[in-house]
Structures are given as structure tokens and as C-alpha cells.
Amino acid sequence: METNPLLATGLLPEFSTIRPEHVEPALSRTLTENRERLEALLTEVADDADFAAAILPIEELGDRLSRVWGPVSHLHGVLNSPELRAAYNQALPALSRYQTELAQDVRLWRLYRRVGDTLADRPADHAASVVEHALRNFRLAGVDLPDDKKQRFKAAIEELAQLGARFEQNVLDSMAAWTWHETDAAKLAGLPAQVREQAAHNAAAVGREGWLFHLDQPTYVGVVTHAQDRDLRHRLYRAWVTRASDQADGDGAFDNTATMRRILELRQAVAGLIGFAHFSDYSLASKMADSVDEVLGFLNDLAAQSRAAATRELAKLEAFAGQPLEAWDIAFWSEQLRESRYAVSDEQLRPFLPLERVLDGMFDVVGNLYGLTIRRLENVDTWHEDVRYYELCSAAGEVIGGFYVDLFARPQKRSGAWMDECLSRKKVHGRLTRPVAHLVCNFAPPTASTPSLLTHSDVVTLFHEFGHTLHHLLTQVDYPSVAGINGVPWDAVELPSQFMENFAWQPDVLRRLSGHYETGAALPDALLDKLQASRIFQAGLQMLRQLEFAIFDLRLHAEFDPHGNTDIDALLDEVRRQVAVIEPPAFNRFAHGFSHIFAGGYAAGYYSYKWAEVLAADAWSAFEEQGIFDPDTAGRFRREILEIGGTRKIGDAFTAFRGRPPSIEPLLAQSGIHAEAE
């Protein structure tokens, strides 16, 4: 009889052996056994049971479920197929039902309250944080609701899980359905060699002449940034901004319009059942920020300080281009202006940024900061031949944790970049489970003639995701629910990642991670200086773009009327009139592909990027003051920020690191907004 790999007890998942038919049996068995063990615990545990006897077994059950479902969820993002998708969708309701059952179990709630009382005089104890987070989650799940409302809450949560998956799948399917076949070589002028070669390979693979473009992120960015042919830029731009919408090519089979509205209706219903006026208030109940007004005030203040600079930046760009610009012209002419102003372009830099050199250089940064070493392990089972596995080790050689690296774009892989947990740190009865992470990007893969060559933007993305990875791996918390990134407020979880981005801009770091892929020649100092100077290029426009998304997200979830005619696209247009200086075309349907808020964890929380960016810029200013590799500063950042998981209020932790509360001024200085204004 075949053993189900999802139920295997080995340290790492057996990814290559997992099949769609394994999902339902493994999940069903795990949920059944978890329920049985939970019932036994609730029956047997004494009224005066302590944390170890009453709560640790529940932590174990959650970790066991994570080990079964985590690989399924991960494969759904990186190696999707119709069969896996069907199995994933079929399993979601059962998983959601189980999680809501636990969160609404009055007996469990009372157990946590009793144990919490025994920990009241030990607020610094990590066990107290486990209980505190659980009690908050019980409340947000409606543990004290009457039975009829509990059932409505449970049904809404189950449907939301399915709708989030459908939204993401519609985006993926819409992208997969789109292609453009080009036979005129003149149309390809300006395109990076990797984009051209990949398109030629795509065409040859299906027996066609010329070039076949797919709608993946490296192709889209390469075309809109570098294609001299305006029609080609327009074609790719339109395809990208109409993904999964009524404006996309085709018969509308992947249109997310109805799915988006139903998601918003259900979120509003969930918030109302718990007693919140709207979903934005419900979302903020578990975040660092206190209120919608506080967040909107923060966002609007940043917008007000940035808009004048952005207006001047657009005027300069159009003057440089000698014509009014449409949305599909901005990236192209911006790259031309950046190259003209700073004599540096993505394509100049790319040959100096081969992936292997970049990885080695990034690992050197971590070694210099924290005294850590990173080594690659061969013969670790993975889901794709391009995937690697690394161990993170202390200076003494002790293994701290591990991480998988999956960096190349491919069909049936979700776009974007992310870090997710594979295993959480756990220590029970003296036995330690070390944390393991997934680091995923969508870079251009190697071609027949060149290795994978990164843009500098790719390098920044890699450092960002590695910041998340370190946050997960360096935790010193032994309870999975508050270890690593778990239990960290969503509006602070980006602090370690955005902090790490800064190293990707430092000349000394860039010297370590660069070298021409053919000659090994280092990046010339003059080019490094210009690259660093280009960091604040169009900082106002970049700031407004993120603020536009954040304000739209928060207002959408605060103002949506399930009984009215809330027009999602009209609200986005209103926000754009308030914030943006670049006017998008009428066919733009950005919201239909906004997976962060409709299929990810950022609903009424997209502002977190800017909120955490304030913290990250201020943290970085401490390193600038003392030296970016100062061991005392790095050690304090590791202790106060990276190691604490969700066991401490981030405001207190930041103050302990910085010696004062956070300030917005370092972000404005770092982004060059004030310099542009002057």
C-alpha cells in the first residue's frame, strides 16, 4: 500500500512524490485525528492545568496540520495544475470549517482564559503571548456569538477561502490564456536579449516562426520598459492591466468582477457579526495601527508631501520625451531618462548581476551582519529541478534553519515574489524543530547562451524576500503560533524585509555581489555611484503609486455597501484623482488582478508596506549612524526585532532597538522627497 507523503514524518516534505490524490485523504485523516485528540484533551485536562499540560498539545495539533496543508498550499502557488487545483479547492471548505470550529469552541476559549489567568503576572513569558493572541483570535472569530450567528460566520469564512482561491486562479488562467505572436524583428527593437530569446524559444516549442510572447512578469516588465515599438508596449500593458477582467481578451470566463463583489460582501458580513462597523475596523483589530482614521491620516500626509514632487517628475519626463505620455509609455521613457540622467540602465547593469554572484554576495552580507554562514545542500527533495535548498548556520556551525529557493518564472507559477514558512520553530519536551522557509521569485531564467542575469530591481526584490526569510529563521521563540513571522502584526511584518533592501543599494555590497558574467569584471565605480544616485529617481511617483493602492484598499473595505451599488472601479478612479498624477486609460482594471487584497493576507492592510517602511527607514538610519556592518547595532536589531516573533508589541520592540519611537523623517530623507522639493 502506498504511503501518503503528506503524512510522512520526515523532517522536510517529500515534494516530488506529492500528488493531487494525496490531498483529501491526508487532510481528512489529520482533521479527524486532531478533533479526536482535542476532545480527549478537553475531557482529561484538569481545571488547574498549566500551559504545558493544556496549551502545548494544542500548539502541537496546529503544527501537525500545518505540516500536512503547508506543502499543498505551497505547490498550489509554485507548480499548479488542473488536478492539484481541483484537489486544493475541494479541500478548502473542510480546512476552513475545522479552523473556525476551533476558533468558536467555547470550551477551548475558557481553557485559554484559565491558563491566561495563571500567566497574568508573567507578561514577558512567551507562553503568555501564545494565550494572548489566541484569546484575541477567539474574539475575532465570534466565540461568544449565538449559535445561529456562529453558523453564518463559519459559512462566510468557508466561502471566502474558496473565493480567494478562485480569484487567484482566474488571474493565473487569464495570464496563461494570453499570447502574442510576432514575426517582424523590427518590432523587437530595444528588448533585452533574455526576453527575445525566451520568446523565440516559446515559438519554437509550438512549431512557429518568430517570437511568441507569454504574459509572465519578466516578459511584461521587459517589454513596457525597453520596447521601442509603442504598439508592442501598449499591447502588453493592456493585457497586464486587464487580467481577469471584463476588458481582457477572450470570452470573459476568467472575469473576477462577481468574485470581487462577493468577497467584499462576505467580509462586511463577517465584520458585522463580530460587532465592527466595517471590515477595515475588523482588520485593524489585529494590527499595530489603532484606527482607520489614523492610517488614512498617515497615508494622506505622505501623499500630500509627495504629490508636488511627483507632479514635477512627470512634467520633466514628458519634457524629456517631447510629448504627452500614456500609461504604457511611462516605464519606457522613465528608463530612457534614468539612463540619460545617470548613464545607467537595467541592461547596462544586468550583465554584471549574474544570479550566482548575487546570491553569494547576499549571503556574505548576512555573514558580516550576524556572523552566520549559509551552505547549499544537495540531494534534498524539491518540486522542480531549478529549486535549491540551503542551511543557515551559526558561527559555530550549528544549524539554525533552512530555506528553499525557487527563483525563475514558469507557466503555472504565481507571479510576484514571496516568502512563506515550510516549518515553524518548535521546542517541545526538549526536542527542537528548526524553522524552514520558502523563498520564491519570478526572475528571467537562464537561456541557451546566458545564465540568469538580474536587473537591479530583481536584486532589491531578492534582498527583500531574504529579509522575510531571516525573520522566520532567526526566531528564538519555541511556540509555532508566535514564532518567526507568526503573530507579528501585519503592518509590521514588512519591517525586516524593507530594512534588508537597503543593503542592495550600498556600493560596497554591490561590489561584492557583482561581476560580469563573461569576464568577471567588477562594476565600475562610476556606474555604482550613478546607480546609488538613481535611487531617488522618481521617488514621488513611486510613493504615490503605493499610496494609491493603500488608500483604495482601506477605503474599499471601510466604505463598501453590500446593499448599495458600490462601484469598485469608480472608487479607485476617485482615489486616483486625489492621489495620482499619471492618468490610467479607461480600460485599466487593476483591481481585478490585485491579489494582495483579494486573495492574499493584505485586505484592509496594504498600507502595511508604507507603515513598515517608516520603521525600516528609521532602523536603517541607526546603521548609517554607526556603520552598516556595526556588530553592536546588528546584534541589537537581531535581538529586539528578528528574534522575538509575535511575543512583544512592535512599538516597544522598535523603541528598545532605536532608543526612541519611530520617526517619519528618515523615510522622507531616504526617498528624496524633501530633496526634490528643495
Q: Which residues are catalytic?
A: 465
Backbone φ and ψ for 179, nearest 5 degrees, come out as -145, 160
Q: Are 211 and 232 in contact (CB under 8 A)?
A: no
In this structure, the number of other CB atoms found within 10 A of the CB of residue 347 comes to 19
DSSP 111-157: HHHHHHHHTTT-TTSHHHHHHHHHHHHHHHTTTTS-HHHHHHHHHHH
Q: Give the CA-trace dihedral at 127, 128, 132, 133, to 10 degrees.
A: -30
Rounded alpha-carbon distances, angstroms, from residue 505 to 461, 500, 513, 522, 529: 12, 10, 11, 16, 10
| Residue 616, strand partner residues | none
Backbone angles phi, psi at 645, to 5 degrees: 55, -135
- Please check whether residue 589 is in contact with residue 572, taking contact to mean a CB–CB distance below 8 angstroms: no
∠ CA 83-84-88, rounded to 5°: 120
Cβ atoms of residues 390 and 376 within 8 Å: yes
Query: Residue 472: what residue type?
Result: H
Residue 435 CB-half CA count within 13 A: 30
- CB of 393 closer than 8 Å to CB of 374: yes
Q: Which of 491, 535, 532, 506 is nearest to 673 (CA)?
A: 535
End-to-end CA distance of the chain: 73
Calculate ∠ Cα 358-347-419, nearest 5°.
Answer: 40
**Which residues are CB-neighbours of 396 under 8 A, at least 6 positions away?**
none
CA distances from 343 to 21, 318, 480, 534 (A): 55, 19, 49, 10
Spatial CB neighbours of 470, under 8 Å, sequence gap ≥ 6 = 366, 496, 500, 642
Query: How many CB atoms neighbour CB 241 within 10 A?
Result: 21
Measured CA to CA, the distance from residue 438 to residue 12 in angstroms comes to 12
280 vs 303: CA distance, rounded Å: 20
Distance CA 411, CA 210 (A): 20
Q: What's the grid cell of residue 139?
A: 474574539
Who's near 369: CB < 8 A, 6+ residues apart? 629, 634
Paired with 391 in beta bridges are: 375, 402
426 forms bridges with which residues in the sheet?
Answer: 433
Q: With b meaning 16 or more CB within 10 Å and e meaning fewer, what string describes 525-538?
A: eebbebbeebbbbb
Pairing of strands 179-182, 373-377: unpaired
